[in-house]
Amino acid sequence: MSCLIEPREVVRLSTPVAGIVSDVAVDRGDVVAAGDPIARLDSRVEEIQRDLAATRAQDQSGILGLEARIAFLTEQADRTETLAKRNAVSDTTAREAALEAEVARQELAEARVAHVLAGLELTQAEELLRQKQLVSPVAGVVTERLLNPGEYRDGQAHIATIARIDILRVEAFAPIAYFPHVQLGQQVLVTPEAPLDTPRTATIRVIDRVFDAATATFGLRMEIENADLSLPAGLRCTLSFP
């Protein structure tokens, strides 16, 4: 019975934000691995924001200064309290010294919160910068390159299309009479059209449970391992059961 060999996935890649394309690292026909860079939008503003956020996140001078101030004020408050017990200074002076130390401790708590927020701002800036960079989520072959450096990417246009062919999908329609004899995980033989007509072993992954009454057939989906990318997608084929 006839069948069709297709890519496992076809991914149309785009960024979640609009902007000017500054670089496209691939072209039609290129083989890419998952995580490979595909394109980048102009990100000079985001890089500056990231650097500013990194500087704020790394700056602990305010915290260190307040810690030193608290150590001094706490020691001074303890000494003033001792003097107050000896009636060498007034109770008011002792309370003022203790209050000044407590205010400094509150300022330190606020400085630490601000430092945590600066770290979150850095994370946000890095994520905004990452949105300007496009990487491949799958291993495959580039089938389209739709934008070039200098062009504007709006909110809808995608930049490139990648077909995943390390695993190939085979679609076929079998007569209903075959239904009792097929099962998930079963091995079948797929012979591509010439000149690539070397038989390949495929594994049944999907068996349709809704039949096509007009043709008295049901759908089958199989997968062929193609780690070396030696077999292209988009081929007609013949399916047989060993």
What is the mean pLDDT, run by run of 10 residues, along the chain of 242 residues? 93 90 93 92 91 92 92 90 83 88 92 93 93 91 91 84 94 92 93 92 94 93 91 92 78
Are 101 and 73 a contacting pair, CB within 8 Å? yes
* Strand 37-41 with 19-24, pairing: antiparallel
How much is the pLDDT for 156? 75
Helix, strand, coil abundance in the chain, percent, nearest 5: 35, 35, 30
Question: What pLDDT is recorded for position 229?
Answer: 86
Q: Record the tokens describing residue 218, joined without a space.
A: 């049901």
Compute the distance between CA of residue 101 and CA of residue 79 in angstroms, rounded to an integer: 12
Looking at residue 154, its pLDDT comes to: 82
The CATH class, in words, for 10-42+131-161 is mainly beta
pTM of the complete model: 0.69
Instruction: Dig out the tokens for 144 from the structure.
Output: 């389209």
Q: Radius of gyration over alpha carbons of the chain, in Å?
A: 33
CATH fold group of domain 165-240? Elongation Factor Tu (Ef-tu); domain 3 (2.40.30)
Q: Residue 204 in contact with residue 221, Cβ under 8 Å? A: yes
Q: What is the pLDDT at residue 183?
A: 93
| Contact (Cβ atoms closer than 8 angstroms) between residue 190 and residue 225 | no
* pLDDT of the residue at 230: 87
Return the DSSP state at 30.
-
Greatest CA separation for the chain: 107
State how far Cα 128 lies from the chain centre: 12
In this prediction, residue 24 carries a pLDDT of 93
Assigned token pair, 236: 């007609």
CA–CA separation, 182 vs 3, rounded Å? 16
pLDDT of residue 92: 86
Separation of alpha carbons 10 and 229, rounded Å: 15
